[in-house]
Amino acid sequence: MNTDSAARAADLDAIDRVVATVEHSQRHKDPDEFLSLFHPDAVWTTGGGKVLLGLDAISAFTRKVLPADDWDGRVTYEVVHVFFIRPDVAAVKVRQLYLAPDGAAEGAPLYVMSKQDDGRWLLTACQNTAVVAD
């Protein structure tokens, strides 16, 4: 494997770990773990269309809704596609499933992530979208 291929594989692995951490934080309703994944100037659009600008707004919203959610925490997140816009910016399409005894709800978030100088990938511009059954 050449250096560029090894670097790309490492980036893909790091992006997968971010998405796995999103899943873990949602399952455990852990706002601190979730918020640690964001760039300070991030933009987040919720599944309901609420636009949150910056980590302070994302934090206020997350700390209010995540621990208070009444679902049982059964959720999965799967990276389905990564498009590197630049070597340090990636558009990441995710399949999100909320599992409940009475059925499942699906989401199709798009996470734009940016690679920091220290090598960490952070959520930078994200859109959480519900999938509506046909």
Give the model confidence (pLDDT) of 9-38 as tens digits: 999 999 999 999 999 999 899 999 999 999
Q: What is the mean pLDDT of the chain?
A: 92
Cα distances (angstroms) measured from residue 61 to each of 16, 20, 64, 69:
25, 21, 5, 12
pTM above 0.75, yes or no: yes
Q: Answer yes or no: are the C-beta atoms of 124 and 37 closer than 8 Å.
A: no
Give residue-wise pLDDT tens across range 92-119: 999 999 887 777 889 999 999 999 999 9
What the block records as the tokens of 45 is 């659009």
Q: Answer yes or no: are the C-beta atoms of 19 and 94 closer than 8 Å.
A: yes
Percentages of the chain per state (helix, strand, coil), in multiples of 5: 30, 40, 30
Cα distances (angstroms) measured from residue 7 to each of 82, 90, 105:
15, 14, 35
The three-class DSSP label of residue 27 is helix
* Nearest CA among 114, 95, 91 for reference residue 105: 95
